[in-house]
Structure 1
Amino acid sequence: MTHSALTPTTAEEMRDVLAYAAAEELPVEILGQGSKRALGRPVQAAHVLDLSRLSGVEVYEPAELVLTAKAGTPMAEIEALVAGAGQELSFEPMDFGPLLGEAAGKGTLGGLIGANLAGPRRIKAGAARDHILGLDAVSGRGEIFRSGGRVVKNVTGYDLPRALTGAYGTLAVSTLITLKVNPRAETSASLALNGLSDAAAVAAMCAAMGSSAEVSAAAHLPEGICQRLGVAGEDRPGPVTLLRLEGFGPSVEYRFANLARRLAEFGPAERIGDAASKALWQAVRDVIPFAGSRNPVWRVSVPPASGAELMQRLRSMMPVEGFYDWSGGLLWLQMLDGEVHDVPLRAAIADHGGGHATLIRASAATRAAVPVFQPQPAPLAALSRRLKAQFDPKGILNPGRMVADA
């Protein structure tokens, strides 16, 4: 076997390739279009398993709200198809391309599942794993698995979609994925509150999420961030807090008025119309303010109530800028001095209610030296090792992607 790319076109070909790789103990790096290749630790493998030819939508039944596609299918193709039928993927998967220096629109369905992607609507709709109806995959043993059907003895009892989603291709290689889709909202609007401090913004977002307004996204952009979203007419220099409402036109108008009254103590509410609102949320989703730079970027998940205090502490410790999504539960941070600051960052997170920090953008050398993903507690790490031993005992799938020597 040479070091050229392996390009299976069917699940059976994938099975044969991985069975051979396991027998020969040949590690492989799994790629779709490579849009997230710089996400995670550098893979320690000379061979590439290229899924680009394992592509195509097999079944799309808009009336049944179901879509089945092969893992190498571009997300741009899937999203265009469902949009044409007035539908969407409710979890609003982000596109990592611009943030990682790649072109937009290169991500694939398999990559989405591997990284468990979700955008601003996650606070209402959940993540990718919550929308998987079925999944076929090939393990590092060279065995085909089908969720919801017959599985081999080694993995009986596992919820395959949940085990594989977010595993970054280290347990098995997805081949066919079935997702639920939903009707797209008729219209949307965003309520903007200007000039709030981080703490006041988090309080406003939490109040909005606790209201009857059915807010589908809540973000706070500190001073200077909104200007870099690149949305015409929305280059606000000061802090802005955004709350998205979606649905039928009259419903959106009614809920907007009620929410504006509910949040009156935080200042006057400004309405952002459908087109500008969609553009703003896409830019927030794809972390556009930090695209085009090489500075390290972190994705930090924390309890919303502790996010503002954490950000204040980090600003006192290091040159950092950031903004909030998921009603304050998700912080995107950019280190302005080019250093990753992993140790003080994770220590500060532990001191402020706990959470998870993932290094999203850094050089390959840095990602090889620094724990990219939040180190797991010992019991959870032991469970991860057992899963790896069951699915990929020879360690041939994306070795080192998540943890060194695994």
Structure 2
Amino acid sequence: MSHKVVVTGLGATSPLGGDVATTWENALKGVSGIIKLEDSWVEEHDLPVSIAGRLAVDPLESGRLSKVEAKRHDPSGQYALVAAREAWEDAGFSAENAEDAEELDPERIGVAFGTGIGGVWTLLDAWDTLRDKGPRRVMPMTVPMLMPNSNAAAVSMTFKARAAAQTVVSACASSTESLSLGLAMIRSGKADVVIAGGSEAAIHPMPLAAFAKMQALSRRNDDPAAASRPYDTDRDGFVMGEGAAVLVLESEEHAKARGARIYAELAGTGVSADSYHITAPDPSALGATRALKEALEDGQVDPTSVVHVNAHATSTPAGDVPESNALHAAFGEHTKKIAVSATKSMTGHLLGGAGALEAVLTVKAVADRKAPCTINLENQDPEIDLDVVTEARDLPEGEIAAVSNSFGFGGHNAVAVFRSV
């Protein structure tokens, strides 16, 4: 059996669009998905930050979610289902779930899903209900909706995926780690297909207030589109985003047997820990460097074949420089030949969903031979010696590879490497 794992389906709902095609088109154009929040709770709580990357399309308007499902899932679960259904359809399966698809065995279909926070809207709404109206008014579905594994469970039940339904909660590295889980599940022979991704719906007054108190968020409230500024000398913090993204991973043998369209190979992944600080990255970037090198080694990828990186690049003063240092440590002189995109400049930071969305963009970059934009870079930080893509750029022909980086609070580092097919 082939040990190669390939990507056969993509799905997304993001601040740039309600599907992959629109999200990708706007990422190439350099469109900002960051807006001014008009919610009454911004003024009610006197929040110091009033901007975020809201979904471009309401889940119910996507046509992939029913009203009944919307009531039974936290927003993060709603987003997960929308993205997963698009990815499943995009992979070309003949039925809505594995149980009914002739080419699939439900016991050989797995789910690996990430989230950073989970059902925060459900949790905090339930607390408000308990406090104001008493325990009898708390919804019986509260716990199933707030638990972090609810997204993996919902996707598993929707597609009758029975090999496993695993959840990763590793802050902003969560959904890139889910790709590592999915890769291992297929390589081990446990599954033929894995629905892997991540989702986050944390644009809520409490997380916004908490991140703002940490001085982690940009306060460019008067200019939302220019607020997320990775690598710029005037960057002042990240911008919250929301959404979900999914990749259908499949063994090459299984994909070819059913005549599936293949976007790219998920060649390898690397996961490490800084063991340094609960929020700050290790300035030496040793953990990030180790994850990069491990991903390249895992996929037997020649570092000189890497032509593109979708960077974690959150736009924080403390975070962008160590990642640049890690890239130089992993790639040496070849770093100068790598086109680096910082797409959070357009989408904001989807926390646990960020890695999956950026992986989708990386797969599209490899498949379409295009590197997406980095916007708002007016004065590049001299400590960041990278070739940053400020206008969509063609990537070389021939065999190429591209990297997607994710780093999270707690010192979590995760890297995925995709290779052309």
Which range, TM-score by smaller chain?
under 0.3
Q: Which has the larger radius of gyration?
A: 1
TM-score of the superposition, structure 2-length normalised?
0.25
